[in-house]
Amino acid sequence: MARIASNSLARLLLAANGALAGLTVDVEDAASVKAAAALVAQDLMTFYPGNNPGQPVGIFTPPPDGDYYWWTGGALWSSLLDYRNRSGEKKYDKDISQGLIWQMGPNDDYMPTNWTASMGNDDQALWALAAIEAEEVSLQEPSQGNPQWLALAKNVFNDLHAAERRVDDGDCKGALRWQISQANQGYNYISSSANIYYFNLAAQLAHLTGNKTYEDAASDTFKLLQNIGFISEKYDVYDGAQASKCKDINKAQFSSNAGMLLQGSAFMYNHTNGADDWKQRIDGLVSRTLEVFFPDGVAFEAACEKASICNSDQVFYKSLLHRGLGSTIEKAPYTSATVLPILKSSAKSAASQCNGGDNGRLCGFHWSTGKFDNTTGAGQQMGVLSALVSILSA
């Protein structure tokens, strides 16, 4: 209840300050994009309870009181770090730092006691990706007595790299399981997200440190995903399979997996000075990702959006998609001619439907119509923020 009251008050204050005209942006003007992104980020933070007394720090309100699972906190800080890096805005530095430190857990590896029992390998990896981005953009390091950003990312890599997290026989041998605990439903499911986020983490660590262990882990994971069939010859990126029936693949495609696979591939392309194999992978992934997830040039969650059945997790995926493509342009600049026009088209449509809520500028989830769809939330705001930020130069 405290969160709802606080959010409502924040939005009423925005309304009182005259912010009722909807969101307007010229995607060809960086200053206009930054101004719009600032408003979207401000509204995004009205969904974050961590600055209110008695509320959890670092995460959105989880079930049963809220709609958001633990991993979305890591996604929040990554999105704000990307915003910081591309806009120069540092007003959220304290929130980002507090959130990343508060949730790091007793072993400094993003396995906090409250969430360990229900955690997936993809959840833990996503928090590590936020930590390594903090290192990449030079966010002030934690105070003495706390681990540094890079150390946190390395600790998670070591956890995910361990044999006990992986399948030890059969067609999925070597792949990361979805869930960490054997007691959890999904322990025997091999999700591409867990393996893709691990791949992305290894790629960024390789890029940042030059350590061959990370480079080999990234390369081996990409090949494993291809060999299993989770990445098709056309560069479709499928959801996963049961460990016991690894060739019986769930062929649902989610934009977050494509975006994060592209991001890691772009880091590897850059790290290897444009190696042919990574260029080939980027070219295939860019082509297929734009085809599947940007019909008519606007981001679309292919597996669930048309039927309006996207769940509270899936509403966040467009944010990861746009951040992945933004990183691709940055680390593999030759892709800009193909990718940037699509990102601009998507950002324009995303912003055009941000005219809902009490302040007249909250964003929805369906972007292609240009009309607000009467859904609001952290995922909707984060998606539009990342869409806007992705077209700014890093």
- Tens of pLDDT, residues 331-381: 999 999 999 999 999 999 999 999 999 999 999 999 998 899 999 999 999
pLDDT at 106: 96
Percent of the chain beyond pLDDT 70?
Answer: 95
| Structure confidence at residue 16 as a pLDDT band (50, 70, 90) | very low
What one-character DSSP code corresponds to residue 384? H
For 383-394, write each residue's pLDDT tens digit.
999 999 999 998
Longest dimension (CA), the chain: 62
How far is CA 304 from each of CA 293, 298, 314, 347, rounded to the nearest angstrom?
11, 15, 8, 20
How far is CA 234 from each of CA 220, 231, 282, 286, rounded to the nearest angstrom?
19, 8, 12, 11
pTM: 0.94
Site of tokens 């079930």: 63
Looking at domain 2-389, its CATH class is mainly alpha
User: Distance between CA atoms of 262 and 331, rounded to whole angstroms?
Assistant: 10
- Assigned token pair, 79: 């999105």
Of 168, 170, 232, 174, whose CA–CA distance to 198 is shortest? Answer: 174
